[in-house]
Each structure stands twice: as structure tokens, then as C-alpha cells.
Amino acid sequence: MPVKGAEYAYAVGRIRVLETRLLDEGRLDRMVESSSVDEAFKILGETEYAHMMAEVESVYDFEEILQAELERIHLLMQEINPQAHLTDLISLKYDFHNLKVLLKGKYLKETGGAMDDLLLPMGTIPLEDLQALIFDEEFQEDDYELPEEVCRAVEEIAEEFEASGDPQLIDLSLDRTLYEMLVGRAKELKSTVLEELFVREVDLTNIKTFLRVKRMGRDRRFLRRTMLPHGRLPVDLFSDLLDEPLEALAESLEKSQYADLADVLVREWQEKGNVTGFEKLADNMLIDHLRQVKYTTLGLEPLLGYLYAKETEIKNIRIILVGKVNGLPMDEIKERLRNVYV
Amino acid sequence: MDIKVNPTRMELNQLKARHEVAVRGHKLLKDKRDELVRQFLERIRKNKELREQIEKELSAAMARFLLARAVMSAEVLEEALMYPTAKMSLEVDRQNIMSIYAPKLSFKQEASVEGGEDNIYPYGFVDTSAELDASIETMAGIMPKLMELAELEKAIQLLADEIEKTRRRANALEYVMIPRMEETIRYITMKLDEDERAALTRLMKIKDIVRAKV
Amino acid sequence: MTGVLLAFVGAALAVITTGIGSAVAVGMVGECAAGVVTEDPDKFGQTLLLQALPGTQGIYGLLTGFLIMQKVGIIGGNLVELSLYQGLYILAAALPITVVGYLSTIAQSKATAAGVAMIAKRPEELGKAIVYAVMVETYAVLALLASILLLFGITL
């Protein structure tokens, strides 16, 4: 086709309309400032969430609404994206979530439906296939269409877990595999937007993990196991910094694109002992990256932007509603709200 | 009051001995009660302190947990916590407080992983919030205190029972047994005195008769 | 007869390339518009207007084709005999609209698709969206003008 990205024309058209229905800052603010959960809920009812809200009985089931909405968006993406394997990469994290649940369930010898509630339907791999991979003794890789990396990771975990019995290993190992797959696939598919997005995610997660591991007082070997691969910041950097004071982190990130964030991180950590602000800024940085490419006329970018915007929006609504239900002060809620995409 | 005893001297002696025991017992019980109350009050004070402290820490931990919960979806959070790293084993011993056997709790945290004794975090770092760490840490830190509190509260409960029992016994002795014994003693003494007087009069009478015949 | 053949090639090229360009462009903008209308059916009229814009180049191509046909006398029914050079002149005269017509359509389709996306958010700005798209049209018109002037300049 002579026009680059022409196959996205329909999808982009739809997304542009959907974007107008995203919750803007004003509405979120109104929700934060509402006097009760019910009122916040009512404000939510004026938006595109309204049709989901008819099905729940009480305000306290908001989690169901958010879940249903997230599911709907992922289905929509699969439906309208001509190259669904790209947006599938974003949904891959749900497959890995399901894998974690299934693996832990297996090792806890959980039977019946105890863990079924924790499985998410937004993944790209059918749940039955995942269940077969984990529970079927005579599992044959060729019978299912599972990514090779996933099968390998599950095998490795089975071996390691039998030796050590450490449940954290399941999460750590799967997280690594996930990001290896994400960055690898984005490169293969030559999608620079996605690659940049995932690389940033890796770096930001690594910075945060570094701090958390440091606080837990664990050693370098453990740190190396928690670090995600393919980041722009080398793992050695973190490993060398582990025994240094925290300021060293800010100094060594001075020249990178994460300089401002590292600054905030260090300051916040020393003043308040938490990383709430950093977590927010990290999410904002990803959204900002997508915002930069938002005006690409045709292509994957608007779709990605919308998907992320929606995930962020759902996160924001959750923060507000959890806060409201539990009577959190307004500024504590505001402190945690992520930037909006519109 | 109806007293059914043989007003004999032997009975009287026995009764007097019992009375003495009862009085001594009563005094001992009273001492025991005082000591129990002292122990009780001491524990109550400690309990109050501990409880307040724990409640403060727990509510702080809960608040942090809430914040962690706000930025994570329910499924992700539950997945993160579904398989704990540490196993805890609890041993129950007995401790003797004034011959009350209160449970003594001691627990051991066993890591399910070698070298992971200090690892209380069973989850990965990618999609969990750092606020979860803080909350888990506080929760884990509270555990020994919670054990102490449980132990203390059980002891207090047992002590209260024992105080109640002791007080009832002391009261029974003080207001029922001892007065009743004293009554009986008085009755027997009076009866014996009566008998004695009767015998004396009889003797004097016989003496008069004998003397008249001579 | 080689001259006539060359003139035919010129006319055919002008119609073919601009036609393909316009079809592709109108199709793509149509897809984009369909996406918008899926979510918001009220936007049909506005998007239709935009969809039509990249279609004009096809008409310009056809117009040039017609002029050539008239020149060589097909339409009148009596074919004019052309020398090799005359044929080449006519072919050259068709080139501006052939090339610019095609490329400008592709360029215009992008601007128009962006316009459709803009309408999705701000329906009141339809006029501006049209202006942006029409700016590209200028160059197609200029090319058409050049082609026509060249054609008229050829004496048979």
C-alpha cells in the first residue's frame, strides 16, 4: 500500500472517537472532591462506564466494573487492530499473571476453584492451554500454540522450585521472561514505539526494584535475579550501586533520561520513606512517551496510546474509589493520581 | 439453724481443730486472692499498653496496605500474596502463675527457602507497589508482639477465673463455714456446760439425799 | 501511427495513475471515516465531505485524458495523423498531472485522514480540516493547469 499505516485507518478512526470519551482531569477531580463514594460513583455514571454500572448491585462492586471495562478494551483492540499481534504484546502481561496464579496454585496443591477468581480473561493465550501446560503430566508442546519462551520458563521454574521451594522465584522468573519476550518481539516486529515503551518500563521498574532490594538489605546476587533484562541502564550499574549511599543513584543517572525521576526518588525516599511519587512519575513518563506519538495520523501509536490511557484511567478510578470507600484524605488520593492522556 | 451434731467433747475437739484450719485457710485464701489481683492488675496494665501499641502499628500497616491496594488490581495483589515464603511453627508450653497453668507461646519462623530467613516478600517486583513492601514488613514485625498479646490475654482470662473462684471460696469460708462452725462450737460448749451443770446438780441432789439418810 | 500510440499512452497514464491514487486515497479515508461513524453515527455527513476530497485528482486525470482524446480526434471520430514528435509532445504534456496527480493524492489522503480524526474530536472544525486537505489540492490543480497549457500549446 502506498500510504504507510493505511491498514490502521479504520482502527484509528474509531480510536479518535473513543478518545473523546476518556475521563478528563476535570471529571477525575470532581470524583476526588465528591463527599462520598456514592457521589463519586454517580459522577462515574455520567461517563462511558454507565452501561457497565447497570449490572452491579452496589458501589462496593466497583472492581467488577473496572475489570469488565478492561476486558472490553482488550477485546476491542483485538477486534479492530489489523496487526493484533502488536497490541497482544500489551496483553501478554495478563497471560503471565495467569501463569503465576496457576503455578502457585499447583505448588500450593490448591484444587477446585479456589484460585479461579484470580485468573484474568484478558490474556492472549487461552486459559485451557496454560492449564494444560502446567497441570498436564503428559504435556506435548506441539499440541498447543504456546510461545516457546513460556514453555521453557515453566520448565525451568519447575526444576528450580523443586530444589528451593521459593515462591518468589516463580514471580521473578516469569517477570524476566515476560520482558525478554516483550522487548525481543518488539524488535522483531520492528516497532520502535513498542520497543521504546518496553525499554522504559524495564528501566523504571529496575530503578524501583533496586531501591526496594536495597531497603530489604539483600545481596547483589539477589539483586541480579530481580533485574529485568534489555534495559537501557545496565544491570552492573545497579549492582555496583547497591552498597553506595542512595545519592550515588541520582548522580549516576544524571545524564540519562531518568535524571528527574531519580532526583524525586532519592528526595522522596529520604524525606518520607516511600516511593509513591516515583511510582506515579514512572507511570506518567510512559504515558508522556505515548502522548508524544499520539498525533501520528495512521499507525499503531494511537491504538497503543488509547490502550495505555484506558489502563491508566482504570487505575485512577480504582485509586479514587478505594480511597473514597476507605475515607482516605483528598490530597492523599490526589497525590497518587496518574496523568491523564487526553 | 438446725445443727445435727453429737454434742460430745470429742466432736467439740474435732470441730475446734477444723475451725482453726478453716480460719487459717481463709487467711491464706485471702492472701492468695490479693496476690492474684496484684498479678492481674499488673498484667492488665501491660496488656493495655501492648494492645494500644499493636493497634497503632496495625492500623498504620493497614493504611499502607490500603494504599498499595489502591494502585494494584485485586487479582494482582492476591496473586502476589497467595504463596507465602515463610512458614511459621507455633509451640505451646505451660507457664505457672500461682499454680495456674497459662499457655506460653513460642513461634519459629522457618524459611521455606534456604538462606531466605529474612525474605518475607513472596512476590515479584514488576507489578507490585513498593507500598506493599512496607505494609508486609510492618505486619511481619508485629507478629512476635501479637503472640505476646495473645499469651497475655489468655493468662489474664485464666487469672480472672481463678480470682473469681478464690473469692468465692474465701467468702464461703468467711460468711458460711466459719460462722457455722463457731455456732456449732458454741452450741456444743453450751450443751456440754448444760450437761455439766446437770451432772453437778444431780450430784448435789444425791449428796443431799445421802446426807439425809445418814 | 506511432505518434497516435504515444498520445494514447499519455492519455491512459493520466487516467490510470490519478485514478488509482484517488481510489486508494478515497478508500483509506473511507475506512477511517467508517471507524469514526462506528462509534458516532452522527458524523456521516461531515466525514463524507472529507472522503470526497482526494477524489478530485482522478477527475483531473480524466479531464486531461479527454483533452488529449479530443486533440487527436478520437471524440470527433476522425483520427488525426501524428508524427513521432507530436506524439511525444502530447505524452510529455500529460506527465505533470500523471505524476503530481498521483503523489498529491497520496499526500492528501494523509491530511484528510488526519482531518477525519480531527472531526472525531471537534466536529465544529470541519472547515479547517477541509482547508488543510485542500492545500494539497493546489498542487494537483497547478499540475493540471500545466498539463492543459502544454496540451494547448501543441500545434498539430
Q: pLDDT tens for residues C55-77? A: 999 999 999 999 999 888 888 77
Report the distance separating Cα A59 and Cα C74, nearest Å.
Answer: 77
**All structural domains of chain B with their residue ranges:** 9-202
Is C125's Cβ below 8 Å from some Cβ in A? no
Contact C64, C144 (CB under 8 A): yes
> Which residues 69-108 of chain A have a CB within 8 Å of chain C?
80
Residue C41 has pLDDT above 80, yes or no: yes
Instruction: Check CB contact under 8 Å for A9 and C28.
Output: yes
Contact A196, A231 (CB under 8 A): no
Residue A273 has pLDDT above 80, yes or no: no
Under CATH, which number does the domain C2-152 receive? Answer: 1.20.120.610
Q: Does domain B9-202 have CATH number 1.10.510.10?
A: no
> In chain C, how long is the greatest CA-to-CA distance?
59
Residue type, B129: S
Contact A167, B84 (CB under 8 A): yes
Is C40's Cβ below 8 Å from some Cβ in A? yes
Is A51's Cβ below 8 Å from some Cβ in C? no
pLDDT of the residue at C18: 94
Of A271, A99, A297, A293, nearest to A200 by C-alpha is: A293
Is A326's Cβ below 8 Å from some Cβ in B? yes
Those chains having 3 or more beta-carbon pairs within 8 angstroms of chain C are: A
Of A178, A181, A193, A177, nearest to A83 by C-alpha is: A193
Is C26's Cβ below 8 Å from some Cβ in A? no
Q: Which residues of B touch A208 (CB under 8 A)?
A: 125, 130
Instruction: Check CB contact under 8 Å for C35 and A17.
Output: yes
pLDDT of the residue at C12: 94
pLDDT in tens, B36-71: 999 899 999 999 999 999 999 888 888 888 888 888
Please give the average per-residue pLDDT across B122-146, as a whole number.
84
pLDDT in tens, A180-234: 988 888 888 888 888 888 898 899 899 888 888 888 888 888 888 888 888 888 8
- How confident is residue A110, by pLDDT bands cut at 50, 70 and 90? low
pLDDT in tens, C128-155: 999 999 999 999 999 999 999 999 988 8
Contact A306, A195 (CB under 8 A): no
Mean pLDDT value across chain C? 91
Which of C31, C118, C121 has its CB closest to that of A10? C31
Q: Grid coordinates representing B92?
A: 505451646
Question: What ipTM was assigned to the predicted interfaces of this complex?
Answer: 0.82
CB atoms closer than 10 angstroms to residue B25: 16
Shortest CA distance from B84: residue in chain A: A167
Are there at least 3 beta-carbon pairs closer than 8 Å between C and A?
Answer: yes
Residue environment code for B9-19, b if the CB has 16+ CB neighbours within 10 A, otherwise e: eebbeebeebb
CB neighbours of B138 closer than 8 A, spacing ≥ 6? Answer: B57, B60, B61, B64
Which own/partner contact pairs does A252-261 have at CB distance under 8 Å and 24+ positions apart? A253/A207, A256/A232, A257/A232, A258/A203, A258/A204, A258/A207, A258/A233, A261/A204, A261/A207, A261/A285
Please give the average per-residue pLDDT across C18-45, as a whole number.
92
Q: Which residues of C touch A19 (CB under 8 A)?
A: 120-121
Q: Which residues of A touch B81 (CB under 8 A)?
A: none
pLDDT of the residue at B114: 52
Neighbouring-strand partners of residue B90: B107
Instruction: Check CB contact under 8 Å for A118 and B78.
Output: yes
Which of A115, A170, A279 has its CB closest to that of B130? A279
Instruction: Check CB contact under 8 Å for A13 and C120.
Output: yes
pLDDT of the residue at A338: 85
- How confident is residue A2, by pLDDT bands cut at 50, 70 and 90? low
pLDDT in tens, B189-205: 998 899 899 999 999 99
Instruction: Check CB contact under 8 Å for C31 and A15.
Output: no
Q: Grid coordinates representing A176?
A: 524476566
Is C35's Cβ below 8 Å from some Cβ in A? yes
CA distances from B90 to A35, A151, A165, A228, B37 (A): 46, 39, 21, 38, 30
Shortest CA distance from A67: residue in chain B: B73
Which own/partner contact pairs does B207-212 have at CB distance under 8 Å and 24+ positions apart? none
pLDDT in tens, B114-124: 555 567 788 88
Shortest CA distance from A12: residue in chain C: C32
Q: How far is A18 from chain C (nearest CA, A)?
A: 7
pLDDT of the residue at A342: 67
How many Cα atoms sit within 13 Å of A269 on the Cβ side? 22
Q: Which residue has the higher pLDDT, A276 or A233?
A: A233
Are there at least 3 beta-carbon pairs closer than 8 Å between C and B?
Answer: no
pLDDT of the residue at C25: 93
pLDDT in tens, C107-127: 999 999 989 988 888 889 899
Is A342's Cβ below 8 Å from some Cβ in C? no
Is C23's Cβ below 8 Å from some Cβ in A? no
* Chain C interface disruption, residue of A298, A303, A342, most C CBs within 10 A: A298
Q: Calculate the CA dihedral of residues A282, A283, A284, A288 and round it to 10 degrees.
A: 100
Instruction: Check CB contact under 8 Å for C120 and A80.
Output: no
Residue C6 has pLDDT above 80, yes or no: yes
Where do we find the cell 466494573? A65
Cβ-in-10-Å burial (0-12, 13-18, 19+) of A283 comes to buried
Instruction: Check CB contact under 8 Å for A336 and B70.
Output: yes
Instruction: Check CB contact under 8 Å for B124 and A226.
Output: yes
Phi, psi of A88 (to 5 degrees): -60, -30
CA distances from A69 to A64, A91, A325, C121 (A): 8, 14, 20, 22
pLDDT of the residue at A1: 47
Report the distance separating Cα A332 and Cα C136, nearest Å.
Answer: 51
